[in-house]
Chains A and B, each alone.
Chain A
Amino acid sequence: MSNETLWYLSRATGLASITLLTLVVILGLLTSGRRRPFGERATIVMGLHRWVSLGMVAFLTTHIVTAIVETYVSIDWISLVIPFTSAYSPLWVGLGTLAFDVLVAVMVTSYWRHRMTERAWTAVHWLGYLMWPMAIAHGVALGTADQPLLRGTTLLCGAAGALALAWRLTTSYADRDRRRDILAGGWS
Chain B
Amino acid sequence: MSSDQRRPSRRRAPVSAGAPRIGVDRVACSGHGICAQTLADVVGLDEWGYPIVADRPVEAKDADLAVKLCPARALYLRP
Give the B-binding residues of A (Cβ under 8 A). 31-32, 34, 36-40, 42-43, 46-47, 50, 113-114, 118, 121, 174-175, 178, 182
Structural contact, B49 and A46, CB atoms closer than 8 A: no
**Cα(A46)–Cα(B53), bound, Å:** 21
Structural contact, B36 and A118, CB atoms closer than 8 A: no
B74 to chain A, nearest CB (A): 10
Known: A39-B36, A178-B49. A46 touches B30 (CB 8 A): no
**Cα(A37)–Cα(B69), bound, Å:** 15
Q: Which residues of B1-16 are within 8 A (CB) of A?
A: 4
Give the A-binding residues of B (Cβ under 8 A). 4, 28, 30-34, 36-38, 45, 48-49, 67-69, 71, 73
Q: CB-CB < 8 A to B48: which residues of A?
A: 178, 182
Chain A interface secondary structure, helix, strand, loop or mixed? helix
Structural contact, A43 and B34, CB atoms closer than 8 A: yes
Structural contact, A174 and B30, CB atoms closer than 8 A: yes
**Cα(A50)–Cα(B71), bound, Å:** 10
**Cα(A43)–Cα(B30), bound, Å:** 14
Structural contact, A43 and B69, CB atoms closer than 8 A: yes
**Cα(A50)–Cα(B70), bound, Å:** 11
> 3 shortest A-B CB distances, which residue pairs?
A37-B49, A175-B30, A37-B33
Q: CB-CB < 8 A to B73: which residues of A?
A: 113-114, 118, 121
Q: CB-CB < 8 A to B32: which residues of A?
A: 31, 34, 37, 42, 46
Could you jot down 28 A-B contacts, CB within 8 Å?
A31-B32, A31-B71, A32-B71, A36-B49, A37-B4, A37-B32, A37-B45, A37-B49, A39-B4, A39-B33, A39-B36, A40-B37, A42-B32, A42-B34, A43-B69, A46-B32, A46-B34, A47-B69, A50-B68, A113-B73, A114-B67, A114-B73, A118-B28, A118-B73, A121-B73, A174-B30, A175-B30, A182-B48
> B76: nearest residue on chain A (CB-CB)?
A114
> B73: nearest residue on chain A (CB-CB)?
A118
**Cα(A148)–Cα(B71), bound, Å:** 38
A14 to chain B, nearest CB (A): 29
Q: CB-CB < 8 A to A36: which residues of B?
A: 49
B58 to chain A, nearest CB (A): 16
Q: CB-CB < 8 A to A182: which residues of B?
A: 48
> A47: nearest residue on chain B (CB-CB)?
B69
B15 to chain A, nearest CB (A): 21
Q: CB-CB < 8 A to B69: which residues of A?
A: 43, 46-47, 50
> A118: nearest residue on chain B (CB-CB)?
B73
